[in-house]
Every structure is written in structure tokens, then in C-alpha cells.
């Protein structure tokens, strides 16, 4: 069964013969070339179901079995999408710390995963190793992301987030003069999607010309879009936030960055502390902090 448009095609095939490899079979059932199928495979748009398990199929020559199911989710726009490369901050072997740029994803879809940070880590670290997402940043946000490279270490690090045994802070640029120039932290407790949420925000600097404030935020809970919702709720939406604020002409990227991580290494017990370099943080026009 297939559904196709000019740029999008979805195809599901049950293997009834072992005469062809996956790429050849999918090409024969579509108007796509074998090379296009291989490129789609490499970018995570082809899936294999065997029994109860479904996973991405990346190798055209992988041996198939009768009864296997092939799934092709071909979307030319998705496959053509490109993002800036992330930057490796630290490689600890069992885990690594990366700077995630704007538009890079923390989770792929059935249409592909080539623009996700974990796929980039899998294909660019030396030696190569699997990469697992532990926590997420919004597509439009930037900053520090922790990636696990074994299931045991990933589970241990994820537990730190779950139990809030990890220190982190974010920096955002918001509209207006936050907290009227007062440097003390402000606690915001607006519910997020009907759930309790708490953030602590403090002013770092103010750009009078643009009427923008640089604000540091620590969150006690981890609700989706929590910082964006909380800043908008007190009248200071994050610059570039089209969902919870009003993005002005010329403002492209969301000015929200994860800048700091501190936690006990689950392997050695040693305290690990990572600060994002200033060159990768949100910047006001002015250079002096309050």
C-alpha cells in the first residue's frame, strides 16, 4: 500500500521473496532510484519490522527474511533539510556533552533522523558508538545537551534528571526590562499545561536601545516550554518565540540557551561541571553585566 504526492511517499511491503535486497525492492515499487533509496536509508527514512521489533534499516544489503516488513517514509523536504553541525564540548567515553545549534533536533521522526544530535554523535565520534538522548532541548533552543553511549550509563544519567540531582541553568534574552533593574531572583510559579511548575529568574544585563534583557533562569520542574511560558506569563516573552510571544521582523532564532550542567559522574562519582563558552551564549548589544 502506498500514498504519494510530488515530494512525499509512504510505502509498506511484506517480504514474500528473497530475490532482491531492500534497496532494490523499494526502488522497484516506487519511481525512486536505488541511489535515492540508499540515501533515504542513511538518513533514517526506511524501517524494518521483524516479529515484534521495528527499527531503522540503514544497510541496503542487510539480509531479509520471509515475513519481514519494509516501511519507507520518503519526504524530499525532510531529507533535504540541513542544519549547522553541533560542537563537541566533552567526550567522556560513556557519555558526551555537546552544544546543540538552532534547528537541530533531539528526536527524529519516522521520516528521518539525520538532523538529530544523537545521530550526529553516532557518526562523528571516534571511536564510533551508539548515542542515546537523555534530555531534550526544543528545536529552536540552543545549548548544552548530554548524550549517553551505553544503556547503563544513559539510564544512570537519566535518573539524575528524574530525581533533580543535576544542577543546570539557562540564559534567555527577553522583551522589556526584566524585574525593573532589580538584581534579585524572581520566582515564577505559573502552571504549565495544568501542572505545577517553578522557575527562578534573575536579570544579568539590560539593553536600553533594543529594550531587551539578558536573564538567567533556573527551573525546579521540567515542563515542556516551561521557560518560554513562564517568561511570557510575567510580560517578558523570549525574543524570537513565535509560539508564546511575538517574533519581530529580523528576529529569526529563539534566544534561549542551556548554559550550565553540574552532576556526579555515574562512573567515577567525580563531580563534573560544564559551562558553555561565552561565544555560544545569547548576547545583548551591550557588553557589561549588571
| Residue-wise pLDDT tens digits, 93-124 | 999 999 999 999 999 999 999 999 999 999 99
Q: What is the pLDDT of residue 49?
A: 98
* Rounded Cα distance, 22 and 55, in Å: 14
Residues of the chain with pLDDT under 70: 1-6, 181-183, 247-252, 286-290
Q: Is the dihedral of CA 207, 190, 162, 147 positive or negative?
A: negative
Q: What is the pLDDT of residue 3?
A: 46
Of 197, 242, 243, 192, which is closest to residue 218 (Cα–Cα)?
197
CATH numbers and ranges of domains, the chain: 8-80 (3.10.290.10), 87-163 (3.30.70.580), 166-258 (3.30.2350.10)
* Angstrom distances, CA of residue 141 to CA of 3, 169, 187, 188, 260: 34, 13, 22, 20, 14
Q: What is the pLDDT of residue 87?
A: 98
Q: What is the pLDDT of residue 238?
A: 95
- Residue 220, sorted as left (phi over 0), alpha (psi -120 to 50) or beta, turns out to be alpha
* Rounded Cα distance, 213 and 243, in Å: 19
pTM score, whole prediction: 0.89
How many Cα atoms are found within 13 Å in the side-chain-facing hemisphere of 193? Answer: 8
What is the β-pairing status of strands 199-207 and 186-188? antiparallel
Of 95, 91, 89, which is closest to residue 267 (Cα–Cα)?
95
Q: What is the pLDDT of residue 286?
A: 54
Task: Measure CA 282 to chain center.
Answer: 18
Q: What is the pLDDT of residue 153?
A: 97
Amino acid at each position: 500500500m502506498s500514498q504519494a504526492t510530488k515530494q512525499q511517499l509512504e510505502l509498506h511491503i511484506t517480504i514474500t521473496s528473497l530475490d532482491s535486497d531492500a534497496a532494490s525492492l523499494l526502488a522497484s515499487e516506487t519511481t525512486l532510484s536505488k541511489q535515492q533509496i540508499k540515501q533515504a536509508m542513511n538518513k533514517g527514512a526506511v524501517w524494518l519490522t521483524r516479529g515484534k521489533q521495528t527499527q531503522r534499516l540503514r544497510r541496503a544489503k542487510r539480509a531479509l527474511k520471509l515475513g519481514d516488513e519494509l516501511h519507507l517514509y520518503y519526504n524530499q523536504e525532510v531529507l533535504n533539510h540541513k542544519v549547522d553541525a553541533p560542537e563537541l564540548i566533552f567526550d567522556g567515553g560513556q557519555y558526551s556533552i555537546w552544544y546543540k545549534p538552532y534547528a537541530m533536533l533531539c528526536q527524529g521522526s519516522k521520516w528521518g533522523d539525520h538532523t538529530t544530535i544523537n545521530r550526529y554523535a553516532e557518526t562523528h565520534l571516534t571511536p564510533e558508538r551508539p548515542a542515546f538522548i537523555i534530555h531534550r532541548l526544543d528545536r529552536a533552543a540552543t545549548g548544552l545537551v548530554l548524550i549517553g553511549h551505553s544503556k547503563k550509563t544513559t539510564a544512570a544519567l537519566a535518573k539524575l534528571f528524574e530525581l533533580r540531582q543535576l544542577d543546570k541553568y539557562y540564559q534567555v534574552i527577553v522583551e522589556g526590562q526584566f524585574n525593573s533593574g532589580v538584581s534579585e531572583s524572581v520566582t515564577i510559579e505559573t502552571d504549565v499545561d495544568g501542572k505545577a511548575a517553578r522557575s527562578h529568574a534573575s536579570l544579568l544585563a539590560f539593553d536600553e536601545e533594543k529594550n531587551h534583557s539578558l536573564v538567567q533562569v533556573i527551573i525546579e520542574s521540567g515542563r515542556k516550554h516551561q521557560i518560554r511560558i513562564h517568561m511570557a506569563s510575567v510580560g517578558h516573552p523570549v525574543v524570537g518565540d513565535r509560539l508564546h510571544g511575538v517574533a519581530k521582523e529580523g528576529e529569526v532564532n529563539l534566544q534561549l540557551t542551556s548554559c550550565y550542567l553540574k552532576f556526579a559522574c555515574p562512573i567515577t562519582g567525580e563531580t563534573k561541571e560544564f559551562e558553555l563558552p561565552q561565544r555560544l551564549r545569547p548576547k545583548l548589544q551591550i557588553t557589561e553585566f549588571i
